[in-house]
Each structure stands twice: as structure tokens, then as C-alpha cells.
Structure 1
Amino acid sequence: MKKHIGNLLGGLALVAGLATSNAALADFSTTEVQLHYGDNYKMGSNANFATGFAEETQRETITLDHFSTNDIGDLFFFVDFFHDSNASQVPGRPESDQYGEIYYHLHGSNFGLAFNEGSLVKGLDLGVGLNQGTDVSIALAGPRVSFNVPGFRVLSLGAYAYNNFVDPFDRSLDTTYQITLVWDAPFSIGSQKFLAKGFVDFIGSQGANVANEVVLSPQIRWDLGNAMGMKADKVHLGIEYTHFDNKFGISGVDEDSASIFVGFKF
């Protein structure tokens, strides 16, 4: 466990360094803190192998996320600090834990991969990523295509090699793929501003008895700051739904969780 905590702290130190350096040079930079309260999470502190991980838990989560971009590339990361609330914690499983992901994409324009303004394809970039928790480490690398589609601030599709090199179940896992679709689409109803954003990951099988995974996590946000006469796009009230098919590659462990949250951008 100390080894995995050390890996996490090292990863977070890397995140902090990249965030500081990239933000200093950024053409655009935004950081947000989200406070979530949700239910129906599986594989939490009450999860029991004997029952097929059927247990669900309530969860409070503090999420820190950051995005910045400049002419060279763009950086995105988030870190979740969460606490489970249930009546039947399994001995040895922590009630509180953390998990984070970081991706850096080098813009293809550095290599002459430029596209005409107004074309469907906005950019072709090359990215690397690290997903890190106290008992899981995943490295990713691959290309990402960004699209120009009316109504979307962000619409991208990435295809990554996916290497799960630290596994919470100590399984021997094969390298596989992850396909990731990301979207961010603001819209208005009358004077009220809203935002639809989210992602879906398709993760391939990592070997015998390790199932394909699908993680779908859309959000709908209401711009609370704008509604209260303050600056727009600074305070959001939202709902997040997550469907996790075959969670952590365990066939039949399907999660359908939801949370309400408030987000503060800086």
C-alpha cells in the first residue's frame, strides 16, 4: 500500500508541476473545484467478493480539474477525493480514497499537421496519459482527433494504447485499447445558460476473464452564477450520471450512479 501511495503522490507532484508550467504559458486556462453528493456507487468500501460486488454506497466527492492550452499542446487533469457512507464497511477497505487522471496532448500543428479553418477536422494531436489511484496505475498513449461541429466548444475522439500495470486484484493483464469521446456544448433556454458535457470510454478486454468496459459519464449544468446576476461560467449547479459496464473488467458488475454537484471555476 505504501508503494501505491508513493506512486499516487509522485503522480500528483507531476500534475502540479505540469499545471503550473502549462498555466504560466497558457493561451487559455481554467481550474474548477466540484463538490459532489451521490449514490449507487459499486466497488466501494462495502464491496464484497462473495456477493459479486452487488453492494452500493453513497459517496461524497471533491473533484479538482484543470484544463489549459497553448500553441504547443494542452493539459487536462482531474483528481477525485472521495468518502463512502454505508453501514457495512468491509474490513481492510478504506472509506476514503483518491483517484486521478492526467493527459497531455502535443498538437499536430508542431509537425505540420494543419487543417483549413472551417473544415470538419480541427486538429490531430498525440497524447500520453496516466490514471493513478492507491492500488491502480494505467498508462496510455495515442492520437486524438478534434472536430469543428456547430454548437460544440469541444468534440474529440481519442484512440489510446491502454496498459494497466498496477491492478487492485493482482491480475495478469494484457495491453489493450481505450477509445474516448469527449464533448462540451453550451446552450441557452431564454436568459438561462446551460452546459452539456461529458465523456464515454470504450476499453477492450485485457485477457481471459477480464471483460470489455464502457464508462459513460454525462453532465447537465445550470449556470447558477449567471442566473444570480454574477459573472457567467463561474458557478454551476449540475447533475452527473455515470454508467460503468463491467466495472474494472469484472463481468456483470454494472454501475449506474448519479450525483448532484456545485462547481466553482477559477
Structure 2
Amino acid sequence: MPFRYLVMTLLCCSCSGYAEVLWQDFRLTYLNGSHYRLGDPQRQVLTIEHAAATAWGDSFFFLDHMKSANGQHSNYAELQPRFSLGKNGWQQAPGGLIKDVLLASHIEMSSQRTNLLYGVGLDLAMPGLKFTQLNFYRRNNEQIADNWQATLVWGAPFQFGGQSFLYDGFVDWASGSVDQHANLNWTSQLKWLASNLWQGKSQVWLGVEYVWWRHKFGVLDKPLLRSHENNVNLLLKWHF
């Protein structure tokens, strides 16, 4: 059985079986930026997110609804379930740096294409970080040649001046192929917990998101087609 089918079979069996939710978080984010590449440079993005840890592993889902200044609308979504070998008795946690080993999957969905990624994930114990994940994928691309991807995800809470802040984000590196150039996307958010001012039960964060993307979507950056993106977005995030 090809590895990608084994990953998807295990994940489907886990979701249909005993799936106690250990914690979950719903988030709504508004972004506004004016330096996007490959398309209208000015856009507003409304993002719906759901993250959860369960008895079988964890999952993350988001849907971006984008509105450009020229009036165009588009949607893009990703679903990222991971099956924990440690939680399910297949692999004892190695300890030290590696907290858990997981079978990782990732589905990218848009009106143009659907891509399936499959591979191996690691939960890492890093000092000062709330969470750190490192995933290695084989990309099954629907319309272009397959390639490889590595993804690092982190969250670093900190205090400054008696206020709570969070610096989190991800780094995606995708290899090149006959159809695309290797590309690197570093997207991070620096946020201040504004809801502490009114002691709100729901967290409200204010901050900025910065995107540093080389050869966006695997498109080679050229003088007549700029795909290197340096984009700062104003950010408002509500956890509910």
C-alpha cells in the first residue's frame, strides 16, 4: 500500500472511532494589506480557523476569504490532520527534543486545484515555546509535477511591560520541479492580547502579520513578473 494511502486510511479510521477532544480553539482573523504579489496588491482577508487536539492526534483547519481592491473574491482552505503514534501506543515518545512522532497529512483546496500532502510530523520540546511542530511532506499536486515540502510551525508567548504578547507563525519550504521554482514562505504574526484591558473571557488580539515569500507559488521572480513578496498586514484576531 503506498504510504499516502496508509496515512489517509489511519486518519480516517481515527476520526471515525473514539475521538475524545482534549482541547479545541475557534478563531476569526481579519487582515488588511497592500503589498501582495501575483494579483491585486491590496486585499482584505477574513480567516476562519479551528485547531484541536484529540485522543488520536491533532488537526488544524482554516478558510481564507479574500477580497481584492478590484472587487474580486476568492476562497482558499487547508485541512491538516495528524495521527499520533505516541497517543495510540505505536511509538513511545523518544523524550528529549522529540515529544511525539506523527503521520501527517495536509489537503490544500481552492477553486483551481486540490493538492494532497502526506508524510511524517514531529512535535518538538523547545525552551520558551508553547508549541513547535516540524512536518515533512511529499506533495501530490493536481496540475503540476509532484515535489517535497518541509513545514515548521511555532508559538512563542512572552510578557512585556505587564502585557501579554504572542509571536507565532510558520515556515514553508517547497522544492523545485520541472513546473516550478523552489520557494520559501515565512509568515509570522506578532500580537498583543488587548482583551486583558477589559478582562474579557474571549481573547482578542491586535497586531501585525508579516509575509516574506521568495518565488511565491513557485513562480520565478523576474523583472516583469515579481513573485518575491514582502507584505505587512494589520491584524485583528478573536478567539471564541
Quickly name the TM-score band, shorter chain normalised.
0.7 to 0.9
Matched, 1:226 2:211: no
| Equivalent residue number for residue 265 of structure 1 | 239
Amino acid at match of 1:39: S
Conserved 8 A contact 1:192-1:227: no
Q: Among residues 178, 186, 191, which one is paired with 1:216 in the alignment? A: 186
TM-score (norm 2): 0.86
1:99-110 to 2 correspondences below 5 Å: 99-109=76-86, 110=88
Matched residue, 2:31: 36
Q: For residue 92 of structure 2, what is the aligned residue in structure 1?
A: 114
How much does 1:126 deviate?
A: 0.5
**Which letter maps to 1:224?**
A
> How far did 1:28 drift?
0.6
Which residue of the partner structure matches residue 246 of structure 1? 215
Which residue of the other structure, out of 151, 168, 171, is the alignment partner of 1:180? 151
Question: What count of residue pairs does the alignment treat as equivalent?
Answer: 220
String of CA shifts for 1:176-219, please: whole Å, max 9, x gaps.
Answer: 111000001111013200000000000011315x2001111011
- Distance in 1 of aligned mates of 2:155 and 2:197: 20
5+ residue gaps, structure 1, are 1-19, 47-56, 87-93, 167-172
Q: Would you say 1:205 and 2:176 are equivalent positions?
A: yes
| Mapping for residues 1-266 of structure 1, pairs under 5 Å | 25-44=20-39, 46=40, 57-86=41-70, 95-109=72-86, 110-115=88-93, 119-166=96-143, 173-208=144-179, 210-231=180-201, 234-252=203-221, 253-266=227-240
Paired residue type of 1:265: H
1:61 alignment partner AA: V
Q: Partners in 1 of 2:228 and 2:16 — Cα distance?
A: 39
Contact 2:94 2:100 in 1 (8 A): no
Q: In the aligned structure 1, how far is the partner of 2:139 from the partner of 2:189?
A: 25
State the superposition RMSD in angstroms.
2.1
Distance 1:68 1:179 in 2: 21
Cα distance in structure 2, aligned partners of 1:58 and 1:227 = 31
State the shift of 1:116 in Å. 5.7
How much does 1:226 deviate?
Answer: 1.1
Give TM-score, length-normalised by structure 1: 0.78
Does the 8 A contact of 2:137 with 2:149 survive in 1?
yes
4+ long deviations beyond 2 Å: 227-231
Residues 225 and 206 (structure 1), Cα distance of their counterparts in 2 relative to 1, 3 Å cut:
same
What's the % identity of the aligned pairs?
27
Q: Quick one: which amino acid aligns to residue 83 of structure 2? A: L
